[in-house]
């Protein structure tokens, strides 16, 4: 869940491609499945449940514009986790973004429904998503954009080798206010 009581500061994180992969198992009874046609509603429900979108409809609209034109890529880049009853409860999208003229591996969305948070699902999900990136992109650096409101996710990303960036050289992001982000997150990072 987003902690909107904190001051909002954007953060870019990078995982160097040469870092060793970390393997974290899912809790018993949960399993990973890949996206298939029709899963977009589940994605929208998961993302809106954590406050990333105001409604499932808005999340679905975003998904249709951003991802549906790339069905074949979705089928190899979008992970879901199912619970014991077969309900999709978490998602990770191993996508890409263009930064300047360069296409970069980019974690687009990661979310675990609130009632399933704190069970180790997010840790396993990020671990699996990072492995997926390596299978698809090789040993390229992986980037993600987050914010101070997502400090719990930041801790998970850090355990999987992601580090906050002051700047991304030769990129259009420029200088990030990492000092301000660290001050806001004081006592929240492990």
Domains and CATH numbers, the chain: 10-184 (3.40.630.30)
Q: Is a pLDDT exceeding 70 seen at residue 31?
A: yes
pLDDT bucket at 190, cuts 50 / 70 / 90: confident
3-state secondary structure 39-81: CHHHHHHHHHHCCCCCCHHHHHHHHHHHCHHHHHHHHHHEEEE
What percentage of the chain has pLDDT greater than the value 90?
81
User: Mean pLDDT for the chain?
Assistant: 92
Tokens 């980019």 sit on residue: 106
Lookup: tokens for 63:
């998904």
pLDDT at position 174, please?
A: 56
Task: Return the SS3 of 14.
Answer: strand
Share of the chain above pLDDT 70, in %: 95
Write the pLDDT tens digit of every residue in 82-139. 999 999 999 999 999 887 788 899 999 999 999 999 999 999 999 999 999 999 999 9
What pLDDT score was predicted for residue 173? 56
């Amino acid at each position: 869940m987003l902690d909107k009581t904190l001051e909002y500061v954007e953060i870019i994180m990078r995982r160097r491609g040469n870092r060793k992969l970390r393997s974290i198992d899912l809790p018993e009874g949960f399993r990973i499945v890949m996206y298939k046609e029709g899963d977009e509603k589940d994605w929208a429900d998961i993302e809106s449940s954590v406050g990333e979108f105001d409604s499932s409809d808005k999340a679905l609209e975003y998904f249709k514009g951003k991802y549906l034109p790339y069905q074949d890529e979705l089928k190899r880049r979008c992970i879901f986790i199912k619970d014991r009853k077969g309900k999709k409860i978490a998602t990770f999208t191993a996508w890409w973004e263009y930064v300047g003229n360069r296409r970069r591996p980019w974690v687009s969305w990661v979310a675990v429904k609130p009632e399933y948070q704190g069970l180790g699902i997010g840790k396993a999900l990020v671990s699996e998503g990072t492995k997926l990136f390596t299978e698809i992109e090789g040993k390229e650096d992986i980037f993600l954009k987050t914010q101070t409101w997502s400090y719990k996710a930041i801790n998970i990303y850090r355990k999987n080798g992601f580090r906050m960036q002051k700047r991304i050289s030769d990129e259009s992001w420029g200088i990030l206010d990492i000092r301000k982000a660290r001050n806001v997150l004081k006592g929240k990072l492990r």
